[in-house]
Every structure is written in C-alpha cells, then in structure tokens.
Structure 1
Amino acid sequence: MERRKFLGLGLTAAAVLPVALSAKDFRQEKPDVWTAHKVEPAIEALYGKITPIEEGIKIQLPKVASNGGAVPVKFKSDIPAKTVALFQDANPESAVAVFDEPSVIDFYINIKMKASGTITVVVEGKDGKFYIGKQSLEVALGGCEG
C-alpha cells in the first residue's frame, strides 16, 4: 500500500475515533478541585468526605528531581478503578489530573513542581472504597540536584 493512502486511512480512522470515546470534564463538573490550594480540600471537592485506605498503590519518584519543570512520576495499581486522581502539594493548585474509568492503572507522566513536596494518588475503586498512596521528593532549585 502506498504511504499516502495508508496515512489517509489512518487520519480518517483517527477523525472518527473521538466520536466513540466519552470522557468526563472534571474541570467543568467540579471546578473547586482545580482551585484548591491544599491536597485534602481538593480530594474532598472531588470525592466528598472519604477515609481512604493506605494500600494498593505503588508510586515511583526520584529522590531528587533535577528539573522541577519535568518531574517524572510513575504510579500503578491492580485495583479495579472508577477514577484515579493525582495531586501534589508544591504548586498553588494541588490537582494535577483525574483519569476516568482507566482499564489499567500504570501511568508514567512528567509534572511541574516549583519546590519539594509530596505526590498523592487516590484511586476510587469499583468496590466503593478509596485507596491512597503518597510519596515525597525533593526538587533541586536551579537544576543542580541539591
């Protein structure tokens, strides 16, 4: 198959794909989550008053992030989830992302942090329970690794 025809078919398929997907706009539905300056009020704005269980979530971070503009965060869990939310406590707004109905919880993303702090992941399980994982890291100011 010629490359142009192949690319044309791929672009056509990609144009149809978003129609089949559905996603919640948590910024629209729950705006207080995105303006909360602390992690606990952001979690409460998203989920209400909950008592999460501290188990089932593995977070991997560097001990010292040399670049606060791109802090690598990896987190995973085997918990069947309705939602997964990522928070940090170094920036003015603590909410980073909310994932709706993830089929597999195995994420690797880079986030921005202006200072050292704690990463928090909350999983809303399909079993109706909430799970939480936390891990702290240092961010080297000026990219000098301490």
Structure 2
Amino acid sequence: MKRRDFFKQIGSAALVAAAVTPTMSFAAAPISVNVMSYNDALAAITGGKTAKASSAVSLKVPEIAENGAVVPVTVTVDSPMTDADYVKSIHIIAGKNSNARCIDAHLTPANGKAMFATRVKLGGTQKITAVVALSNGEFLMASQSVKVTIGGCG
C-alpha cells in the first residue's frame, strides 16, 4: 500500500464516521427532565414531613425584580454549625416556575456558617421559599414574594 492510498482510505473512513455519528445520536432516547410542582418539590425535600416557618431562617430577595432571569437570593440560617447541630441543606423553591425546585445546597459543619447566595430564574411574579434541613431531622422555612417585571423563563 502506498502512502497516498493509505491517507485516502483514512480520510474516507473519517468522513463516513462523521456522517454516521450525528444521525446515530439523534436516535438516542430523549433526556427526561424531572419537572416538579411546588407541592411535589416540598414533599421530595422533606420526605413528607412538615416544614415550619422560623425566624431562624433569613431569606433575602428583592421585592421587585426588573429581570426575572437573574434574581438574587440569599439564605442565612442562625445555626451553631457544630458536629451535633448544623444545617444539612438549603433548598430554594419558586412555586410558579415550570420546575419549582430551583437549587439545593448541601452543607457540613466545616462550612462554619449556614449561608447560601445565588441567582435564580423566575417566570413571573411569585413566592420564593427557602427550605432548610437540619441535622436533627427538622425542616424550617421562610418565604417572600417577588414581583417580576420581565419574566426570565420565556
């Protein structure tokens, strides 16, 4: 086999592989997205337990968000963050989004402070809820309404 013939065959094989690969990937099963309502998200987080409103949970969101695509959310929990008593996780739920469960942040005593800040997308004016899981199995929550002038979820 000559060098030129070898490279022609390699090039042909590469073209066939490039042409076949995209069509095969389209034949794959569609990716399923776990879309949850507010009640489903709350039940999934708490395992069916009741989450009680608490002043130990501080939820900071703007009263009016000009752009629903980037709404700042800060959750702070008054917790000693010791090995015996700490915040295990902070969850943010937006009730009127197509998928209510926005974010889950898992913490350990090594974090030192029970605080989490992020930005979420909101499809419109709605209530934001922060659900906090404690190491003793209790669930605390805080809610606040946000008026969105331009929706972020399309």
Query: What is the TM-score normalised by the length of structure 2?
Result: 0.65
* Contact kept in structure 1, 2:87 and 2:133, CA below 8 Å: yes
Residue deviations 1:5-33 (CA, integer Å, cap 9, x gap): xxxxxxxxxxxxxxxxxxxxxxxxxx99x
How far apart are the structure 2 equivalents of 1:88 and 1:114? 9
Matched, 1:42 2:41: yes
How far apart are the structure 1 equivalents of 2:66 and 2:143? 20
1:51 maps to a residue whose letter is T
Q: Equivalent of 2:122, from 91, 113, 117?
A: 113
2:89 maps to a residue whose letter is T
* Root mean square deviation of aligned Cα: 2.2
Structure 1 segments unaligned to the other structure (5+ residues): 1-30
Structure-2 change in CA distance of 1:127 and 1:140 (3 Å): same
Query: What is the TM-score normalised by the length of structure 1?
Result: 0.68
Question: Which of structures 1 and 2 has the bigger CA Rg?
Answer: 2
- Deviation, 1:47, is 2.5
Q: Equivalent of 2:91, from 78, 85, 93?
A: 85
Residue deviations 1:84-117 (CA, integer Å, cap 9, x gap): 1111113100001111224222222111111011
Alignment of 1:4-23 (within 5 A): none
- Deviation, 1:141, is 2.6
Which 4+ residue blocks in structure 1 deviate beyond 2 angstroms?
101-105
* Contact kept in structure 1, 2:91 and 2:103, CA below 8 Å: yes
1:50 maps to a residue whose letter is K
User: SS in structure 2 opposite 1:49?
Assistant: coil
Residue deviations 1:45-76 (CA, integer Å, cap 9, x gap): 23311111210111111111001110111111
How far apart are the structure 1 equivalents of 2:45 and 2:138? 14
Alignment of 1:89-100 (within 5 A): 89-100=95-106
Structure 2 segments unaligned to the other structure (5+ residues): 1-31, 80-85
How far apart are the structure 1 equivalents of 2:43 and 2:127? 17
How far apart are the structure 2 equivalents of 1:119 and 1:142? 15
Paired residue for 2:11? none
- Deviation, 1:142, is 7.1
Paired residue for 1:128? 137
Aligned length: 111
